[in-house]
Every structure is written in C-alpha cells, then in structure tokens.
Structure 1
Amino acid sequence: CELSKLFLKEGKKLAHWNGSIVRELPERDATDVEDEKRQRGLGYDTYNNLSVSNNFGTKEFPKAIIIGVKKGGTRALLEFLRVHPDVRAVGAEPHFFDRFYEKGLLWYRNLMPRTLDGQITMEKTPSYFITREAPSRVFSMSRSTKLMVVVRDPVTRAVSDYAQTLTKNPGLPSFQNLVFKNSTTGLIDTSWSAVRIGIYAKHLENWLRYFPLAQFLFVSGEKLVTDPAGEMGRVQDFLGLKRVVTNKHFYFNQTKGFPCLKKPEGSSRPRCLGKSKGRPHPHTPAEVLHRLRDFYRPFNMKFYQMTGQDFGWD
C-alpha cells in the first residue's frame, strides 16, 4: 500500500537517526531564549506598562497556572491575559513543577512579579499537564490553584509539534516514520511525545486525582484564533476578573493567520506573537492523518465526557 512505500522511502534515513534523541529533543524556540533572559533578571516585556518590574507590592505564589498544552496556544493566551490590568504574569516558563522542583518554593515565589491588592499572579508551563509529579506538587503549594489547559485538535497539534522540531533539526525523519511503530500494521507510537501529549484524557485523569473539575478551565486553541474575544471572556470569568480584554483589543493578521493585539498607546506598532508562531506545516499524507485521527477518536470522546465540552475535532 501507499503507506508501506512511504516507510520504505524513509527507512534508511530513520535507521541512521538516534531515536532516543528524537524523542527527547528540548522544547525550545526563539521565545524560550528571550524568556530565559527575562528569567535571569534582564527585565520583562511591557504592554501598556502593565508588566514592568517594580519595587511595589508583594511576590505571591500564582493563583492560576496555564498547565498545557504544548503547541495548543498557551503563549497566545498568556499574552492576551497580560493586557488585563489585574493580571501579572511571568514572561518566562518557570518549569518549577517539572524541572526545578528541588530548588524549593521560595525560589519559585521569587520568580514571580510583584502584585498589588486585587491583582493575580500567573505563570505558564505547558509541560506540567503531561508531568506525572506535577499535580501533587501544585497541590502541595496550594489546593485552591486555578488551572487552565489550552487544547487543540491533537492531530493538528502533533503536526505543529513536529514542524517546530523540524526547523531546529532539518535531518529529522518524516512525520509518518516517527508516528508509526510498525509500517505494516500502522500501529501508532505513543512513546513519541508529539503523539503522547495529545492523549488529553489520560493526562487529565492524573490531575483529577488532586483537583476537582471546577478548578479547571479548558480553553479551545481553535477559538483563540477564530474568536479570541469570546474565549477570553470565558477566561476572565473563570479567573474572577472584570471583562476588560474584549473585541477592541484584537485584529486578525492575514499574513500570520491568527489574531494580534492592537497597538497599545505610545507604541508605533501592534503586538503579534513571535516569528516562530504560525509557521507552515510540512505536507503529511492524508492516509497518515486519517490513521492518526482514528487513533485519537476514542480518547477525544472520553475527554469530551470528562470535561463536559465537545471541541468538535471529529
């Protein structure tokens, strides 16, 4: 069949590639590098002067965390939220509950921006959602933490994940060679992180052992693009914030294919996400996407049941 031919064509390429390296590639892009600079104390981005580091207020543990998912739209959600005057967010991804937990809670709190009365502290680290130890660690910090998960069609998300990795590793085997364990049976390789992340129901089960469903908000990555103001209304309600971020803050960038924030006062240009966002996806054979969609379907149905939301991915 056509699928087998595709595997034969790419077989030699895959044979010379270290599979363990493929599955553990660091999840970094240009935005991550800039975030690390900010995390080292070189200052935060400003938008309407809402995120300027200052000596007023106190450093608090986050009241809300964007815990996932990678390539779902978490950066867009964070940037949209930072427009709100009552939100103070860390620009960098702290990775405290997955990579740096041994540094301790005082170290973590010191990463947070100062807040005034009535403001809430936030951070985002998408890998928390898939980290087994993260729920218990967040619970140990505060059992009242609000948790936001930006989800997206897992098939599209997987291709986007692969596209990001491909830009940094041009010699990467094709998507179809990485997504299948066996070229004959078409068995999906769930050990590949690009596939594993999209099994949302499995990861959510781990979090629900510690937090009730009422403390989660599941944000549609698709609606953040097609109706950012509407989805941000839900987010602000969930956080107990006044609906400040509305339609007037957005315009659709035809070139990038997603919404941008209109320029703030005193700025000469609007604020869009980095160049790495909105990159084109490599061509993937329709048969491969079809098989991957079949694989995800039962997990999607379970996720819809667990959350009480139908995201319309099928």
Structure 2
Amino acid sequence: MPRTLEGQITMEKTPSYFITKEAPRRVISMSRHTRLIVVVRDPVTRAVSDYTQTLTKSPGLPSFQNLAFRNATTGLIDTSWSAVRIGIYAKHLENWLRYFPLSRFLFVSGERLVTDPAGEMGRVQDFLRLKRVVTDKHFYFNQTKGFPCLKKPEGSSRPRCLGKSKGRPHPQIPSEVLLRLRDFYRPFNLKFYQMTGHNFGWD
C-alpha cells in the first residue's frame, strides 16, 4: 500500500477482506483509524451472480441447485460452498466487530448503487469526510448492461463502464430453489439489519 501524504486518503479494496477471518486483526495492526466500506447486496442474488461468474470459466460446472444443497430432498443448504457462505453477512460482521466499532463502517447497498448511484456515492464521500464531487451528472444508465456507468470524461473517446464480466444474464434457477435459499438467509439477514441498524429490504 502506498504511503499517504498529508491531505490524501489511501484506499484499498478486495472482495475477500470482509470474509477472511484474519483480515480485521491485520488491518487494525496497521491502523486503528481505518474506515471500512462494505458493499452488500441480496445474498441470494449475490450467490447466483457468483455462480454465473464461475460458470463462464468452468462450463462443466454442476447446476446451481446441486452446489447449493447438501441434501436436495430435505432442502439442507451447503454452507461450505463459498457462493452461499459469503452471503451470511452477520457472521462475517461479528468477526470484524471484535476489532472495530460499528462507527468505523459504512454499509453500501449494492441495489441502491444501481438505482441511485449518486446517492450512495454521496454517502461514501460523507463517510470519508470528502467534499461531494461525484454527483448525478457523472452517471448514465447503460441499458445493455442493466446498471449505471460513468459518463465520458473530458478528453476521453468513450464512457467508463464495468467490463464484460459484469452484467451477464443469470442462468434460470428453479423458483423453489431460490425460495429455499431466501428462507435460509432470512434469519441471518434480520440479524445483519439489527447489527447495522439498516434494513436493506432483501426479504
């Protein structure tokens, strides 16, 4: 990580920090003043998206339901599958709260990043104590991708949007499989809402 000069903020990101058991201890050993931004989305949608991403790299992957259930007859969910385990946000947050107070966290809604990107970015800028520079004028909705992209910067020939790996159509998953997953996540979601003081509306 580069050194931060006076008047600068150093930012670092990876999806694996939040779910890695050793991460909070390592982060706090570097700085107790770190501000932590966690982007979360509906864990069912997140699991399907994770599966879709993996499927493009491994076309012979078993079906989503074969991976999601330890026992399809009883509906027992396989929490050893990373696509499912990552979405148990309350469990991961408990680990982080052993080291950092809740005031050090900002939880960003993945859904609101799509429906109101400027609003969520406004919250991020406030949390980092930055002047609100990123606003509505910086975004446009890309119909092909199905989510907002950044407008063309000055001197650039094209707008900036997430790469080909983002915005892929999800495979058709049987509705009863999704319903079982929603039932599985519901108590964890409710606990997460209580822990964060924010209802993300996933139920």
SS of match in other structure, 1:252: strand
| Deviation of the 1:116 alpha carbon | 4.8
1:183 aligns with 2:72: yes
Structure 1 residue 268 displacement after superposition? 1.2
Does residue 261 (structure 1) correspond to residue 158 (structure 2)? The answer is: no
Normalised to the residue count of structure 1, the TM-score between the two structures is 0.64
Query: 126-135 vs 206-215, which deviates more?
Result: 126-135
Equivalent residue pairs, number: 203
Deviation at 1:269, TM superposition (A): 1.1
- Aligned letter for 1:259? P
Q: Provide closer, same or farther for how the CA distance between residues 115 and 205 of structure 1 changes in structure 2, counting only shifts above 3 A.
A: closer
* Distance apart, 1:117 and its partner CA: 3.2
- Measured after TM superposition, the shift of residue 259 of structure 1 is 0.4
Show CA shifts across 1:191-244 (max 9, x none).
Answer: 000000000000000000000000000000000011000000000000000000
Using the alignment, how far apart are the partners of 1:116 and 1:278 within structure 2? Answer: 37
Paired-residue identity, %: 87
Give the AA of the match of 1:287: E
Structure-1 residue corresponding to 2:63? 174
* Superposed counterparts of 1:60-71, under 5 Å: none
Alignment partner, residue 197 of structure 1: 86
Gaps in structure 1 of 5+ consecutive residues: 1-108
User: Residue 165 in 1 paired to residue 54 in 2?
Assistant: yes
SS of alignment partner, residue 17 of structure 2: helix
Pick aligned residue for 1:278 from 164, 167, 178: 167
Q: Check if 1:312 corresponds to 2:201.
A: yes
**Which residue is equivalent to 2:34?**
145
Provide closer, same or farther for how the CA distance between residues 142 and 201 of structure 1 changes in structure 2, counting only shifts above 3 A.
Answer: same
SS at match of 2:163: coil
CA-to-aligned-CA distance 1:116-152 (integer Å, 9 cap, x gap) = 5322110101101111111111011111100010000
The CA RMSD measured in Å over matched residues stands at: 0.9
Runs of 4 or more consecutive aligned structure 1 residues displaced over 4 Å after TM superposition: none
Counterpart Cα distance in 1 of 2:4 and 2:135: 23
TM-score when normalising by structure 2: 0.98
**Bigger Rg, which one:** 1
